Chain A
């Protein structure tokens, strides 16, 4: 009983929110950058997402012409072991933010269409759970770039 009621409520909320504005319209992206690694090794992409809406938004992934595959990941360190797990979505709280930063949430970029070099600007389409998308410019930085998010 609980689940159908909840999903009905959720669907209602989505409809109500969707009628006016999408997640993409309420989310602002900043500090967007990519750590470029040599050869065609997977790279990590980082961004800070701020949600100005009264409703939470959810990042579900990204697409890009520059990379064949993009995956939303979370790194963790428990009991001295580094792990990486795939995420289906990441919540951006209402009037809050979600930070994708090294050793935490990140987008894993794989199979570059053409080699990406430090200094390049790469466009990623950030996808939200409501189906909307936000085109964001990511700055490609060298492997040894220092994270400035924190």
Chain B
């Protein structure tokens, strides 16, 4: 008797459970459908910053001397890096590694842009920036502008930079963020790459972003 009752409850629970599973499947299917139209949750390897960092938005001058805004790079996957040209060690190393990453992406890399934003606008004219970024990769763009605009942009990505005291000859260093911020084709912040992260992970995540979504 007791066993029978248990069986009935069990089968009832089973049917309830299967209804639940069906509903979940339906929900998952509708989510998948809607996410195909919007941005799908991509299996990133790097730190996922989707929804945690603001979209790409700025008004600066590019290395051709042309005024540009964040909107001008919609349709491209953007790698944003803050640096300066009088930085002989870490900035060139970062740009060299990004160049290797771009080479590994093959033709897909044409859908990406490296934006090198100067944190030293006093010395980094568009001409200096142009020579500097092009020594590394043809898909790199140097950006400079009003110091206050650059400061606001750096702050927008929860970072900072400090101009260190000048030496006797007037030369000075600038301490700056070492991270690379990656944005999708719609200008949304997606992943963050730091110097300790592997370049393989960056290639992997860029591959995901470049092979999905609308192309330019």
Measuring CB to CB, which residues of chain A are less than 8 angstroms from any residue of chain B?
35, 37-39, 41-44, 69, 73, 75, 77, 80-84, 102-103, 106, 108-110, 142-147
Counting from the closest, the 9 A-B pairs by CB-CB distance are: A143-B135, A38-B131, A44-B88, A102-B93, A82-B178, A42-B88, A44-B89, A83-B175, A82-B90
Q: Does B86 contact A (CB under 8 A)?
A: yes
Measuring CB to CB, which residues of chain B are less than 8 angstroms from any residue of chain A?
85-93, 95-96, 99-100, 128, 131-132, 134-137, 159-160, 164, 169, 171, 173, 175-179, 194-195
**Closest-CB distance, B52 to chain A (whole angstroms):** 15
A146 with B89, Cβ < 8 A, contacts A37-B132, A41-B132, A82-B175 known: no
Pairwise interchain contact B173-A84, C-beta atoms closer than 8 A: yes
5 example contacts (A-B, Cβ-Cβ < 8 A) are as follows A37-B132, A39-B128, A81-B175, A103-B89, A143-B136
**Closest-CB distance, A109 to chain B (whole angstroms):** 7
Q: Which residues of B contact A73 (CB under 8 A)?
A: 89
**Closest-CB distance, A120 to chain B (whole angstroms):** 16
Residue from B91, B92, B131, B159 with most neighbouring chain A CB atoms (10 Å)? B92
Pairwise interchain contact B160-A142, C-beta atoms closer than 8 A: no
Q: Which residues of B contact A106 (CB under 8 A)?
A: 88-89
Pairwise interchain contact A144-B96, C-beta atoms closer than 8 A: yes
Pairwise interchain contact A37-B135, C-beta atoms closer than 8 A: yes
Pairwise interchain contact B194-A37, C-beta atoms closer than 8 A: no
Give the A-B contact count at a CB cut-off of 8 A.
Answer: 91
Q: Which residues of A contact B176 (CB under 8 A)?
A: 81-82
For the complex, give the distance between the alpha carbons of A83 and B86 in Å: 13
**Closest-CB distance, B64 to chain A (whole angstroms):** 16
A39 with B131, Cβ < 8 A, contacts A80-B159, A144-B96 known: yes
Pairwise interchain contact A144-B132, C-beta atoms closer than 8 A: no
**Closest-CB distance, A62 to chain B (whole angstroms):** 14
Pairwise interchain contact B194-A80, C-beta atoms closer than 8 A: yes
Q: Which residues of B contact A41 (CB under 8 A)?
A: 85-86, 88, 128, 132
**Closest-CB distance, A141 to chain B (whole angstroms):** 10
Pairwise interchain contact A37-B177, C-beta atoms closer than 8 A: no
**Closest-CB distance, B202 to chain A (whole angstroms):** 16
For the complex, give the distance between the alpha carbons of A32 and B20 in Å: 67
Pairwise interchain contact B132-A103, C-beta atoms closer than 8 A: no
Residue from A44, A109, A144, A146 with most neighbouring chain B CB atoms (10 Å)? A144
**Closest-CB distance, A143 to chain B (whole angstroms):** 4
Cβ-closest chain A residue relative to B160: A81
**Closest-CB distance, B105 to chain A (whole angstroms):** 16
Pairwise interchain contact A77-B171, C-beta atoms closer than 8 A: no
Pairwise interchain contact A37-B85, C-beta atoms closer than 8 A: yes
**Closest-CB distance, B146 to chain A (whole angstroms):** 23
For the complex, give the distance between the alpha carbons of A74 and B160 in Å: 20
